[in-house]
Structure 1
Amino acid sequence: MRLSMLSAACLCAGSFVVSQSALSAPALATTQTDTKAIVAAASPQDVVDFGVYLPLRHTDKLEALLARLHDPNSPQYHQWLRPADFLAQFGPNPADIEAVKSALAARGLTIVSSNAHGVRVRGSAATVTQTFGAPLEKVTQQSHTRFQAHQALQIPGELAGIELYVVGLSPVPDHHVNAHMRDNAQLPSTDNRYSATGSYWFTDLKQAYDYPAWSAATDGTGVSVAVLMADLIFPGDVKAMFDHENFTAITGKAAPGVTTVLVDGGGVQNGYGSVEASLDVQQVLGGAPGANVTLVSIPNLSNLSIIDGYQYIVDSNKYDIVNSSFGGCELSYTAAYNSGTDYTYLLRAKHDLFLQGNAQGITFVASSGDSSGLECPSTAYVDGGAAPVFVPSVSTPAADPAVTAVGGGNLVTASAPPSLNSKYVRESAYNDPEAPYDPWGRGVNVSGGAWGAGGGVSAVFSRPLYQILANTGSSNWRTVPDVGMQVGGCPVSPATLSCGTDDSSVMTAYGVGIGGGFLGIIGTSVASPEFVGALALFEQQLGSGNHRLGNANYYLYLSGALQTQAGGIQAPAALQLYHRNNPGYDGVAPDSFPSYNYNYVYGNGSPDVRKLFHMTQYPAAGVPQTATNP
């Protein structure tokens, strides 16, 4: 049955498909992110939490070490460091951390906790203002309250000789999820194998992208994945997703489970990040049902909670691959967007953690954003100027060179009902123009936006070593994405002015049996965890010992260069590692820019999983809901 026109507080893309009758339950949450921000002066007694972290040392030596760790010709290739060894060589000076603790405590602030990176601090707004010489505002948005200073913080004189990252007091907006609801008019019936554009279940994607046939050797066993996201999932939804595809009936195995770790107290069920968390977990497990998947739940997508989540991940060193299906405007950290104050040090704080993770062999993967090549509004949006528009720009953390950015477009597969055959036919990446909307809740609409995979040229990070292997259109700056997969199009919010004929979505279980059901979801949040599932299969092939990849971009660009040298789209079949030359437009550049072998929608292309990851010794995953593709 369908639930029609749920209330505005629910998961309300109009109507959406459910698998059974709705039961009495709280309204389901929405993934909408453009809610109005309420800003007021902070009261002197308001309790403020923030972090003070210190940068890494000897970063020139660290960069040289990372190059050797990823060089197959180096004796140090894949000889990953342990956290204690990394921190001993490159971590902040412990004496400086002690000096920070002493100075802040002497000013009346409470040191909540400390570690090798810095300290978490708490105090009244009045004390924080006095310490840093900047009055605070209280911002409430999506049930989350944060504090911000609209002028540069003044570092206390007793700490003037120590470089500090103060996290949690900047006016940079929170990150947002990269999953959206599909236009309800486009949603399929529950049995949705009646269209060449989906909606797709995880088994459809596995056949289309040439995953290996399911077996104990090709299910990700032995690989640990962390999904970093705000909020929690409903515990029965993973099983509901696998039950729909008859996984247990075909394999005799129970549906996979999920572990949850709470950082900063974690999030809540049915919170604004819960749909995204559900999608991420299900996409990873759909590709790699034998992997150990942990939802690292944070209370919100602020820089403070995100950094704390990454810090837990790198310090615990339990996870081989990390998925981050969230993003934010990279330009919003720059001085032009903050009355002349540069907050790009917040990006450097995350970059330090990514570097540590890479040195330990951890692979970070992030969705490239859903605003095509137009992630950010113009400065008129923040300065009160006339007619703000979206401008060429990229999303963070995808733009970080220590992260694999995943974009993509619309998958088109075979469709011959009543067969469930989902064989790959082609892909396209034409964006969908959007009606004007308010991206950060400032009460001003911005025009000229578009829906589609994010991509383009970073304004902050320089070109990494591995991008020398591709014509990325920039000799100086990092470009994104690195690879692409199914994304889909035609969102409910922001409203699209027109939708492409290839627009598609994937199915995600959310609140099954308690008022929800199977939802049509789109976004690079689909592509990122999907690619993580494929990476988990690759790492499984590398053995039970040292199977980590570190920064996967070294491998991805080397593979891309191999295909390019062999003829690109004309390369021999065995070297067609990526699907390339996918037609499209991202609002800034056509699919052919900068070349047919690399563009700002798919990066190197979308993977032929068995070929790219050296698994052609296994048969291919066949038609969904069969022994090779349960």
Structure 2
Amino acid sequence: MANTTAVPRTHLNLAPRASAVKAVDDSLKMKHLQLVLKPSAQRQAALEKLITSQHDPHSPSYRKWLTPQQYGESFGVADADIATVSAWLEAQGFTVNTVYPNKTQIDFSGTAGRVRHAFATHEMVYTINGEKHLSNDSDIRIPVALQSVVAGVMGLNDFHPRPMHTKPQLARWNASKQRFMQTPASTAKSSKAKTPLSAFDKKLAQATDTPDAVNFTNGARGLVPGDLATMYGVDKIRKNGITGKGVKIAVVDSYDMVPADWSNFVQNFHLDSYGGTFTQINPAPPSGVNNCLDPDAVAGYTQDDGYDDGETLLDAEYAAAIAPGATIQAAICSSYDADFNATTDNFFGGVFIAASNLINGASRPDIISASYGFGEGATDAASKQAIDAMWAQADAEGISVFVSTGDSGSNPDFNGSVIYGNSYDGTSAVDANSFATSPHVTAVGGTDTADVLDGTSGQYFKVAKDLTKGSALSYVPEIPWNESCGNEVAAKSEGYNSNVKFCKDLFKFDTKGLYATSEAGSGGPSSIDRKPAWQSLVFNAAKDQTRDLPDVSLFAGSYGGYTYVVTCTSAYPCTPDFSGSTTLSGGTSLSSPMFAGMQALIDQKMDNSGQTLQQGNAAPTLYALAAKEFGGPTGTAPGTLAACNADNGATGTGACVFHNVTRGSISTNCYEESSGEGTLTNNCYFLADLSNYSINTIFGPIPIGAVQMGLTSTLTSPTGLNAKNEAFTARPGWSFASGLGSVNAGNLVKAWVAYAKSGK
């Protein structure tokens, strides 16, 4: 192409890790691509300055939010440039579907042949770890005249995000044992159960290819809304009428749930009297061709068919568990049809479309929760810019956005499996969720209750469980959620002085790696976004220049798969006596909507106090409040840092806003082939050589053969592992393992309102 220029990082470097490559047919339809526009540097700087002032209680712009149209006029691309770009797309044979009011994105459609001709790149099919993926094979090229306003095209690859929830478990309540007992996998209508990790369980030593044999050996605990309300101080302010009333929470997803399940959930757990409502919507763009399709409709289903998406269901139910008076919307835009053909060709699929359409619409939510993610290393530059721009717009409009950090420790790409550097994102076992690293969202990680490993459950839970009202007695000490042998608290409970020794002994029993896992709350530094000023305000803030995850954490899962939350599904509805089978779930997909519910409590209290209901990004205020308890980045930490340690449980933390998590880590298993394709997995400390190892994919197990198994590290080539180089260790103040920790919602609401009034 004459007079064109390449746009850097607009393709993924998959070729070294892919096989069976072939070009797609030129006639392949590419639906609802997003042309990402690039405002001037001056406009971007002005936007950041405005957002900073919108969060400053001393500024005249404090909480003076914008409309989508105001945002576009002040911070988007000029109308003349949009007209030029649109005319060029149409001249290349594309259909321009929608120009968004933010003036930073254009929705358009065409074919793979049109993409090849216009952008000088070929759409190819790659096979990676048994999965087929579509991606362009080179950076796109655009006319030189457009390079100042075009950042790239979103949708030239199909690496859609993954939901951040654990695989649902199916169990039956056993009243005599006061526990849930797993339903055998052969009869359950649920996915394969995760396995606990206990190096000394006799059945583990006997296990060969059936790790499910030891799952739920001693039963499982299912937390219910009443438990979480007690643990996080929600119950006390609920008694005062703070329930999220008048606040709209949107959970963005790409698959439907059965709305009656939400009603079953709130009725069974006595939340229906608070007046909250639930709707499931397919938000269309403000104008032009509709790019948001109903997943059930495109797949040929109806709600009567009873097909639930576990992600959507978990999001909607547990946002209501914390804020039962709120208006809950499940905003759904389909990513695929019944034949798994894409209904929208943009990275992050229907989740991005749903969020973008909401943020640019006339009836916007006050809060958004997004429980999806993929690593920055697997996200092309145009998609990352579009994601960050979308969240910045939401912040400027006053929308509070919460995003799950991930469910696989130091790299969010591996939910349900083991971190493997020779995969989508290059060679590193350390990455951060590209959906969460924007400085305009609050990133929510995951914790585990420590009572089981500490042997103190009797101190924090009633012996006789009440599964409709809850049995928690108070706040329960927390540690980072980590299901691997990298969990130091678990290692100590097994009699080891280090997780390294624990893992080495585990793999003496488990020579096939059946119990290896990377299931854990995710955290890590961004490789793209810079650290916002507010993230440097607290004690032990990372000494780097990058946006770091997470900001806060809430319960997500447990070591050994022992503790989950109860969900109500179409296949297995909840009943007061729990006589039937029950679905248990978890993950940071649980943490994010729960924190969104807490934000709804704040919003209602602010509104009741005569202040602005919408709060924008929560993180700047959260860090300002944390600095008061933890201390600043320099000087001596105040006594409240120790007083607010999560290990204190309910004793001494009653006045704290934050529960500072200081024990454990999210260092999990990682592996690299001893023979075969690939490059060495960076940031992995190898502990054992295993034989006959296989990985699970959506197509089933794929034999790998011999591997080196280890634990993730912050060092590229570690020669040892300790608290200083694990990826990552909890510590006093802020940490990559759990951010600022969890919160007492009642104290947070009071502190937030006081800060908004005084700026202190």
Same fold (TM over 0.5): yes
Alpha-carbon contact 1:563-1:575 (below 8 Å) kept: no
Alpha-carbon contact 2:160-2:349 (below 8 Å) kept: no
Query: Which residue in the other structure is 2:104 paired with?
Result: 117
**1:570 to 1:344, Cα distance in 2 relative to 1, 3 A:** same
Give the alignment's TM-score, normalised by structure 2.
0.65
Give the alignment's TM-score, normalised by structure 1.
0.78
RMSD between superposed Cα atoms in Å: 3.5
1:176 and 2:153 are equivalent in the alignment:
no
Alpha-carbon contact 2:421-2:429 (below 8 Å) kept: no
Q: Which amino acid aligns with 2:527?
A: A
Mapping for residues 184-263 of structure 1, pairs under 5 Å: 189=174, 194=179, 198-211=221-234, 212-214=236-238, 217-248=241-272, 251=273, 256-263=277-284
- Deviation of 1:179 after TM superposition, in Å, equals 0.9
Match of 2:537 among 469, 474, 498: 469
Query: Which residue in the other structure is 2:734 paired with?
Result: 598
- Deviation of 1:323 after TM superposition, in Å, equals 0.2
- Deviation of 1:101 after TM superposition, in Å, equals 1.3
Alpha-carbon contact 1:373-1:586 (below 8 Å) kept: yes
**1:218 to 1:44, Cα distance in 2 relative to 1, 3 A:** same
Query: Which residue in the other structure is 1:44 paired with?
Result: 26
Q: Which one has more relative contact order, counting CA pairs under 8 Å at least 6 apart?
A: 1
Query: Which residue in the other structure is 1:409 paired with?
Result: 447
- Deviation of 1:466 after TM superposition, in Å, equals 0.7
Query: Which residue in the other structure is 2:747 paired with?
Result: 611
Alpha-carbon contact 2:275-2:325 (below 8 Å) kept: no
Alpha-carbon contact 1:488-1:504 (below 8 Å) kept: yes
Match of 2:352 among 307, 311, 314: 307
**1:594 to 1:535, Cα distance in 2 relative to 1, 3 A:** same
Match of 2:327 among 292, 295, 314: 292
Corresponding residue SS for 1:236? helix
Deviation larger for 405-414 or 348-357: 405-414
Match of 2:524 among 453, 456, 469: 456
Mapping for residues 80-159 of structure 1, pairs under 5 Å: 80-115=65-100, 116-137=103-124, 147-156=134-143, 159=146
Mapping for residues 348-363 of structure 1, pairs under 5 Å: 348-363=385-400
Alpha-carbon contact 2:406-2:588 (below 8 Å) kept: yes
Query: Which residue in the other structure is 1:25 paired with?
Result: none
Match of 1:559 among 625, 639, 652: 625
Q: How many residues are matched?
A: 543
Distance, in Å, in 1 between the alignment partners of 2:47 and 2:398 is 14
Query: Which residue in the other structure is 2:300 paired with?
Result: none
1:504 and 2:563 are equivalent in the alignment:
yes
Distance, in Å, in 1 between the alignment partners of 2:732 and 2:396 is 32
Corresponding residue SS for 2:135? strand
- Deviation of 1:288 after TM superposition, in Å, equals 0.9
**1:564 to 1:255, Cα distance in 2 relative to 1, 3 A:** closer
Identity %, equivalent residues: 23
Alpha-carbon contact 1:56-1:90 (below 8 Å) kept: yes
Corresponding residue SS for 2:440? coil
Q: Which amino acid aligns with 1:281?
A: A
Distance, in Å, in 1 between the alignment partners of 2:573 and 2:242 is 33
Distance, in Å, in 2 between the alignment partners of 1:120 and 1:146 is 22
Alpha-carbon contact 1:311-1:353 (below 8 Å) kept: yes
Mapping for residues 520-531 of structure 1, pairs under 5 Å: 520-531=584-595
Unpaired segments ≥5 residues, structure 1: 1-35, 334-342, 436-444, 491-498, 618-630
Alpha-carbon contact 1:510-1:519 (below 8 Å) kept: yes
**1:416 to 1:48, Cα distance in 2 relative to 1, 3 A:** same
Corresponding residue SS for 2:554? strand
Query: Which residue in the other structure is 2:44 paired with?
Result: 59
Alpha-carbon contact 1:240-1:512 (below 8 Å) kept: no
- Deviation of 1:594 after TM superposition, in Å, equals 6.9
Distance, in Å, in 1 between the alignment partners of 2:146 and 2:385 is 20
1:487 and 2:574 are equivalent in the alignment:
no
Distance, in Å, in 2 between the alignment partners of 1:112 and 1:517 is 46
Mapping for residues 1-16 of structure 1, pairs under 5 Å: none
1:381 and 2:423 are equivalent in the alignment:
yes
Deviation larger for 347-356 or 593-602: 593-602
Deviation larger for 263-272 or 581-590: 263-272
1:548-596 Cα shifts (integer Å, max 9, x gaps):
1111101110111111134213267564111113421111466995741
- Deviation of 1:89 after TM superposition, in Å, equals 0.9
- Deviation of 1:372 after TM superposition, in Å, equals 1.0
- Deviation of 1:41 after TM superposition, in Å, equals 2.9
1:27-60 Cα shifts (integer Å, max 9, x gaps):
xxxxxxxxx9997532122211212121234111
Alpha-carbon contact 1:178-1:367 (below 8 Å) kept: yes
Query: Which residue in the other structure is 2:293 paired with?
Result: 265
Deviation larger for 227-236 or 214-223: 214-223
Distance, in Å, in 2 between the alignment partners of 1:395 and 1:190 is 41
Query: Which residue in the other structure is 2:657 paired with?
Result: 577
Corresponding residue SS for 2:568? strand
Distance, in Å, in 1 between the alignment partners of 2:331 and 2:62 is 29
Alpha-carbon contact 1:485-1:527 (below 8 Å) kept: yes
Alpha-carbon contact 2:169-2:585 (below 8 Å) kept: no
Corresponding residue SS for 2:138? coil
Alpha-carbon contact 1:177-1:273 (below 8 Å) kept: no
Q: Which amino acid aligns with 1:429?
A: P
Distance, in Å, in 1 between the alignment partners of 2:356 and 2:166 is 28
Alpha-carbon contact 2:730-2:738 (below 8 Å) kept: no
Alpha-carbon contact 2:133-2:157 (below 8 Å) kept: no
Alpha-carbon contact 2:275-2:324 (below 8 Å) kept: no
Query: Which residue in the other structure is 1:426 paired with?
Result: 477
1:522-560 Cα shifts (integer Å, max 9, x gaps):
200111101111110111000166211111101110111
Query: Which residue in the other structure is 2:311 paired with?
Result: 276
- Deviation of 1:216 after TM superposition, in Å, equals 7.6
Distance, in Å, in 2 between the alignment partners of 1:140 and 1:592 is 31
Alpha-carbon contact 1:188-1:199 (below 8 Å) kept: no
**1:396 to 1:242, Cα distance in 2 relative to 1, 3 A:** same
Distance, in Å, in 2 between the alignment partners of 1:114 and 1:592 is 42
Corresponding residue SS for 2:750? coil
Query: Which residue in the other structure is 2:364 paired with?
Result: 318
**1:382 to 1:457, Cα distance in 2 relative to 1, 3 A:** closer
Alpha-carbon contact 2:552-2:742 (below 8 Å) kept: yes
Distance, in Å, in 2 between the alignment partners of 1:364 and 1:85 is 20
Unpaired segments ≥5 residues, structure 2: 1-17, 181-218, 285-291, 297-302, 336-345, 414-418, 452-459, 487-512, 575-579, 632-637, 645-651, 668-712, 714-722, 754-760
1:135-193 Cα shifts (integer Å, max 9, x gaps):
1135799xx9984212111114553443233110136x2100001225658x7558996
